[in-house]
A and B are shown apart, each in its own frame.
Chain A
Amino acid sequence: MNNAMRAYSALGRREIWEHKSFWIVPAVIGCLGILFTLYGSGALLVAAHQGMININGDINITGVDHIQVVRAFIFGSAAFFNTVMLFMVWFYLMDSLYADRKDRSVLFWKSMPVSDTSTVLSKLFTGMVTAPALMLAAVIVTEIITGILFIIALSFAGVDILPLVFQPGTIIVAWFTLAFALIVQSLWLLPFFGWFLLCSAWARKLVLAWAVLIPLGAMLVERLFIGTHYLSNAIFSHLAKLFTLVMSGHYSVNGVSIGPGIVIDGKPDTFASHGALMTLGSLARVFAQPEMWIGIAIGAIFVFGAIWLRRNRSEI
């Protein structure tokens, strides 16, 4: 490893030393998931043993694409991890350039030959890449264990779903899709991340209050004095689209929501159909949305602002 890489990796590890919750919380959620699955499987086994479940002949799951079920399991069990991770990242970013000013350790960090740009970007990288990566690792391990538990429990109950769900290709592609989705999600949320960093570098106290009150105040001013609500629309619809556009694979053309390339009867697929799960293709199409790039540009401006403040504010 050359010197620069060593320094960057140390900056990255430093964040995880300080914020161990980025791996502890996903690990705890994973363990809870496994415990619940164990309990569920146990209950199933007991029920099967007592003859409460009686299956004669083959089970036919009709009307459901079992590959979609596998993918739904993989994406669905990641959803809770993701929600918790996003909250952790938001609070982390708001704290990241503030906590060391508050406890004065910024004087130690600044006594090292590390540029303010590297410092700020290491915090952004932790929120955008490291935290999702740690979460993904926990998700994959949890899914493997809970999946195996389910299959074993069902097999004792007389249902052999292994041939149906053991689709290594599908599973691996789904995990890749999940990883890609986390990257798209981070980029989609960059304006929010950048804003939190900016507030964190700027506020003397109460970062959270400033981070929330400034946009809220701007919305109020717009509504009261100009009579429009472009800002609130932009912010809330950008957040909402994280779910419709990134996570479900829907995107919108001329205001019409479109599924991942599935066209039924010449009309775009609806949200409720089975096509609503994200795919690599649907995620790639997010990059074709101007809103993605506008968001990234705004986020970049905020990040530059945070770097400038980190370098130039003389009072701690």
Chain B
Amino acid sequence: MSMVVQARGLSKSYGSLRALDKVDFDIEEGRIVGLIGPNGAGKTTALKAILGLTNFEGDLDVLGHDPRISRRQLMQDVCFIADVATLPRWLKVADAIDFVEAVHPRFSRERARHFLERTKISQKSKVGQLSKGMVTQLHLALIMAIDAKLLVLDEPTIGLDILYRKEFYSNLLNDYFDEKRTILVTTHQVEEVEKLLTHLMFINNGKIVLEDSMEGVAEKYSEVLVTADKVNAAQALNPINEREIFGKKLFLFEGIERDKLAALGDIHTPSIADLFVAKMQGAVQ
């Protein structure tokens, strides 16, 4: 396993605001990492630092490059889609393909054409004439035709309808991802990426509050639906979150063995969204 991203003491301030506060994290090859955090938590700053779009303090190694210095070389191995519709409206589809082919040594025109054939996008159209969903399809086709090592997605499906959103991720998974590639994705729609991710990273107030594999999360965190008579026993085990559901209490435990919890009620692995809420509330308290 080789390391794709390695951050040590990564910091970035905007005036008095610490967007990233001495953050350490690693991203290994072949992972799909979800970077989840509330607005203003430092997600976009972290992505920008990785992509060489912002200055920062600390050490950051992306595929052997310092993104501050060698963005051009880095971009041969890294692709990114930053929310929808960053393709300029005046660009013709055929010209977009010509341009990327000319500047990107790892772009394959055949692959791009192959992906576009599955859509209704005409090569003669301009980006401005396409629907939002189609622009995303086009952008994804261009990016998937690049043989890159790291793909960074920043809220890639925001503002898209459900059909395009589903298709976006299924295309990525079926036609693009393999063990040699790495994907880093931030999104607010966690449910969508839940089944996709291999690893999870929570960020809040410029700090990483959780960094684990999905298996690790399933092992460490358990959600138990507890009947009223066992609430006290459950509370004694220091749940990190509790809420009421259908007259029963739902507790979220961290680092408690499932054997101990089995007596309290039904055990599930928490959804990312529930885990996220619990972790963020914990941080506030």
Contacts and interface: CB of A to CB of B under 8 A. Distances in A.
Contacts of B100: 112
Interface string A1-15: 001001101110110
Given A3-B105, A103-B88, A107-B86, A113 B99 contact: no
Nearest to A100: B88
Nearest to A19: B90
A18 B103 contact: no
Given A7-B103, A10-B99, A105 B88 contact: yes
A10 B98 contact: yes
A236 interface: no
A314 B53 contact: yes
Contacts of B73: 113
A216 interface: no
A111 B88 contact: no
A18 B72 contact: no
A130 to B, nearest CB: 16
B82 A113 contact: no
Given A112-B75, A314-B55, A17 B86 contact: no
A112 B95 CA distance: 15
B65 to A, nearest CB: 11
Interface in B72-93: 72-76, 79-83, 85-92
B72 A10 contact: no
B92 A110 contact: no
A28 interface: no
A12 B140 CA distance: 25
Nearest to B74: A113
Interface residues of A, number: 27
A104 B72 CA distance: 19
Interface string A178-193: 0000000000000000
Interface residues of B, number: 33
Contact of B90 (A18, A111, A118): A18
Contacts of B139: 108
A131 B53 CA distance: 30
Interface string B48-84: 1001011100000000000000011111100111110
B146 to A, nearest CB: 9
Interface centre among B71, B76, B85 (most CB of A within 10 A): B71
A258 B26 CA distance: 70
A242 to B, nearest CB: 31
A114 interface: yes
B8 interface: no
Nearest to A112: B103
B166 interface: no
A18 B88 contact: yes
Contacts of B180: none
B76 to A, nearest CB: 5
B109 to A, nearest CB: 13
Nearest to B80: A111
Contacts of B55: 312, 314
Interface string A232-263: 00000000000000000000000000000000
B75 to A, nearest CB: 4
Given A110-B53, A114-B103, 13 more contacts: A6-B102, A6-B103, A17-B91, A18-B90, A100-B88, A103-B88, A104-B85, A105-B86, A107-B82, A108-B88, A112-B99, A112-B100, A113-B75
